[in-house]
Amino acid sequence: MEQLKKITNMDKVTLALLLEEGKARISDIQFHVTLSKRQIRSALTTLVQQGMVIYEISTASYMLV
């Protein structure tokens, strides 16, 4: 039997960004998931480092690449 992978905070944040049409602030993401702002920031930082998300300073929002 195949073992399923655990859903990570990065997966949850990515899904929330998709629900927000690829661009959102942390508060918008927090609306969709039951994570703290600290957990969301941590996941977003990792996604930015991996090049999957970019941070837009002028609007303080994150965008999927």
Rounded CA-CA distance 49/2 in Å is 30
Task: Give me the helices (H) in the chain, please.
Answer: 9-19, 26-32, 37-49
DSSP code at position 35: -
| Closest to 13 in 3D by CA, of 59, 49, 56, 34 | 34
Q: What band does 20 get if pLDDT is binned at 50, 70 and 90?
A: very high
**pLDDT at res. 22:** 95
Has residue 62 got a pLDDT over 80? yes
Q: What band does 4 get if pLDDT is binned at 50, 70 and 90?
A: confident
Has residue 2 got a pLDDT over 80? no
Strand partners for 63? 23, 54
24 to 3, 20, 33: CA distances (angstroms) = 32, 6, 13
